[in-house]
Amino acid sequence: MSKPNKRKLLLLLALLIVGTLATFVPRSQAHALTYPKPSWWTYSDSSHQHCDSGHFGNTYTLLTTWNGLEVCGPVGTNTSVTFPNGVGEGEWQCVELVARYLLIVYGAPALSNTNGDQVVANYASTYSSLFTSITNDGNTHAFPKVGDVLSYSTVHTAIITGITVTDQTNGNATLNLIEQNASSNGTTTQKVIGWKIKGGVDDPNDTGSDTVSAWLTPKESWSTVSPGGTTYDKIYSMAAASTTSVWAAGNEGANPVTYYDNGAGWTKYSPTAQCSCNHYLYGIATIPASGDTWTVGAYTPSNIKTLAYHWNGTSWVHVTSDNPASNGYSNYLYGAAIDSSGGVWAAGSYWLTGSGYQPLIEKWNSGTSNFDKQTVPLPSGQVASELNGVAFSSSSNGWAVGDANASGGSDHWVIYHYDGTSWSSNALGSTNYATLKSVAVVSDSEAWAVGYQGSPSKPLILHYTSANGWVEDTSFNSYYPSGTYLNSVGTDASNDVWIAGQYGGGPWYPYTMHYNGYYWVQSNTPTVSSNSYLEGVAVSSGDAWAGGYIGDSNPTPLVFQYS
């Protein structure tokens, strides 16, 4: 199977592919997450890389782990450790475990003056956009979820790691917990009877007392919101002007297709096909203030040509775009962006005989009603380059990403910068077989780019700050599932960055990860039943949308929403 992110190969294949890949049964559970270790922990030597052994020596006890989250002891130790925001916690105490978990997974800094019985109330109050508190009175007729946090009136806190429902009608279940400074092995269980968590600290057989006051649960999670009633559809890109103005673009069979969600569900808007040939929309961009929206891609009348449409408020209007390749060779537009002054940009590549693919950036010219080719020089020493994504923070600060190679060499990732006047090569990677698929800007002084590198391919994340330039972020390198590809990145704040792609290789599963301002954390999506790919992600006001498709021989569109 061709790698799904090599988009131009799709245009060279026949439209309908006879399905040769099996449909896989749904996963019984999502891929196991692995949360990163705390950045403030140190290790004493290579054989003692757990529980902050560099701070304590080798006197710790590793009681258990859950998703890579280490539960440590011994019970009764209360040596202070300082969290990144300066808050001190008693290391190996119950609050330290929960505070560490809530920081790593959700980006919620540790709270001072918070005992175990206060954790739920204080975190729900301080981080009301992240969490809510559920009172343990049995009135909600709902079970807590895996990952929720309990507070006990007897000054204790713990994390739920599993739930076994024994009587759905009457609200009976058993909870599995991890905890510090209570049980000798860091685990215990708790009964739920009549929708109410019963018992005391580390006393699984107590069904009479009511010491759990409340539980803390996150407000957000992924849900499936895919368009329905479609055949042979693939989504390649997403854009969001607001939480009630979201676009998806791709193809439906041979035809271009887009979907729009105003908050009440998806409506399909199909741009007019330009010929009886294949059409693909690979990029889409929209402006929050006006809703002005553009989508770009390629189509195949004979040779492959660039394709662009503009939304006029009710329908898509085809607009012309440059095709610099000569002699019937290929032209592509893979990404679209709109700068702060309303300038519309597209990035891609075209074939130059004797050299290979060349970087292509076009800008909408309202005077000529055409996307005009811009001057984009090759990086020094390179003879070919392709651009897959483009993004702007202002009219004088833009980024385009892709790959480049020297004559006869392998690809290296490449980044271009726009300074308000011209485009220039800004950074070139050294790793072979590397490419960047997508770029997103936080501000003039911060941006992210994602792709993959090496053979076999490994995920690649680059982070730009004005202080340090482009730097590879390797903080999650030990935590990716096998066969992970990163296809798209989106952001609306320094502490709200999302990446979408897939992992596995056979079968393929959707993959998303979130940067919360402190850590990258993998976030599980709902279970799917066949090969599934995520090609685009968009973020607005704390919500995110990841789009792609399910299946290879007869694909259907796939969209997840995190809200």
Rounded distance between C-alpha atoms, residue 261 and residue 543, angstroms: 13
| Residue 465 burial (C-beta neighbours within 10 Å; 0-12, 13-18, 19+) | middle
Q: Is the dihedral of CA 524, 528, 533, 534 positive or negative?
A: negative
User: Residues 463, 423: one domain?
Assistant: yes
User: Residues 203, 348: one domain?
Assistant: no
408 assigned to some structural domain: yes
201 assigned to some structural domain: yes
511 assigned to some structural domain: yes
> Which of these three, 196, 218, 240, is where a domain ends?
218
Nearest 5°: phi and psi at 220? -120, 150
Nearest 5°: phi and psi at 116? -60, -40
Q: In 3D, which of 535, 525, 537, 529 has the Cα closest to residue 554?
A: 529
Nearest 5°: phi and psi at 126? -75, -40
244 assigned to some structural domain: no
Pairing of the two strands 196-197 and 532-540: unpaired
Neighbours of 54 (CB within 10 A): 14
User: Residues 155, 16: one domain?
Assistant: no
Location of structure tokens 């560099």: 54
User: Residues 14, 61: one domain?
Assistant: no
Tokens representing residue 151 in the block: 């507070």
Q: Per the structure, how many domains does the chain have?
A: 2
The CATH number linked to 478 is: 2.120.10.80
Q: End-to-end CA distance of the chain: give it in Å, rounded.
A: 33
Give the burial string for 510-542 (b: 16+ CB within 10 Å, else e).
bbbbbbbebbbbbbbbeebebbbbbbbbbbbee
Convert the pLDDT of each residue in 500-512 to its tens digit.
999 998 899 999 9
Rounded distance between C-alpha atoms, residue 163 and residue 376, angstroms: 56
363 assigned to some structural domain: yes
Q: In 3D, which of 319, 493, 451, 304 has the Cα closest to residue 3?
A: 451
pLDDT at 5: 41
Query: DSSP 3-state helix, strand, coil percentages of the chain (rounded to 5)?
Result: 5, 50, 45
User: Residues 121, 157: one domain?
Assistant: yes
HSE-up of residue 64 (Cα within 13 Å, Cβ side): 16
pLDDT at 21: 30
> Which of these three, 218, 247, 272, is where a domain ends?
218
Write out residues in the chain with pLDDT < 70, as ranges: 1-32
The SS3 of residue 298 is: strand
The CATH number linked to 153 is: 3.90.1720
> Rounded to two decimals, what is the model's pTM?
0.91
Angle at 509 between CA 507 and CA 511, to 5 degrees: 150
Rounded distance between C-alpha atoms, residue 497 and residue 513, angstroms: 8
User: Residues 108, 228: one domain?
Assistant: no
355 secondary structure, DSSP code: T
Nearest 5°: phi and psi at 99? -65, -40
Element (H, E) at 119: helix 119-126
Rounded distance between C-alpha atoms, residue 425 and residue 378, angstroms: 7
Rounded distance between C-alpha atoms, residue 306 and residue 316, angstroms: 16
Rounded distance between C-alpha atoms, residue 38 and residue 105, angstroms: 11
User: Residues 475, 547: one domain?
Assistant: yes
171 assigned to some structural domain: yes
| Residue 279 burial (C-beta neighbours within 10 Å; 0-12, 13-18, 19+) | buried
Location of structure tokens 């673009």: 249
280 assigned to some structural domain: no
Rounded distance between C-alpha atoms, residue 513 and residue 286, angstroms: 23
User: Residues 198, 225: one domain?
Assistant: no
pLDDT at 4: 38
Q: In 3D, which of 315, 427, 431, 435 has the Cα closest to residue 379?
A: 427
151 assigned to some structural domain: yes
User: Residues 61, 25: one domain?
Assistant: no
User: Residues 137, 151: one domain?
Assistant: yes
User: Residues 11, 122: one domain?
Assistant: no
Rounded distance between C-alpha atoms, residue 436 and residue 449, angstroms: 7
Pairing of the two strands 331-338 and 80-82: unpaired
Helical packing angle, 94-106 and 119-126, nearest 10° = 30
Report CA 238 to chain centroid distance, whole Å: 12
Tokens representing residue 259 in the block: 């979907």
pLDDT at 31: 59
Angle at 348 between CA 486 and CA 383, to 5 degrees: 100
pLDDT at 3: 35
User: Residues 400, 511: one domain?
Assistant: yes
- Host domain of residue 351: 7-29+221-232+343-562
Q: In 3D, which of 496, 540, 547 has the Cα closest to residue 518?
A: 496
Report whether 551 contacts 23 (CB < 8 A): yes
Give the burial string for 18-32 (b: 16+ CB within 10 Å, else e).
eeeeeebeeeeeebe
Report whether 489 contacts 537 (CB < 8 A): yes
Pairing of the two strands 255-261 and 245-252: antiparallel
Element (H, E) at 545: strand 543-550
153 secondary structure, DSSP code: T
> Which of these three, 177, 195, 218, is where a domain ends?
218
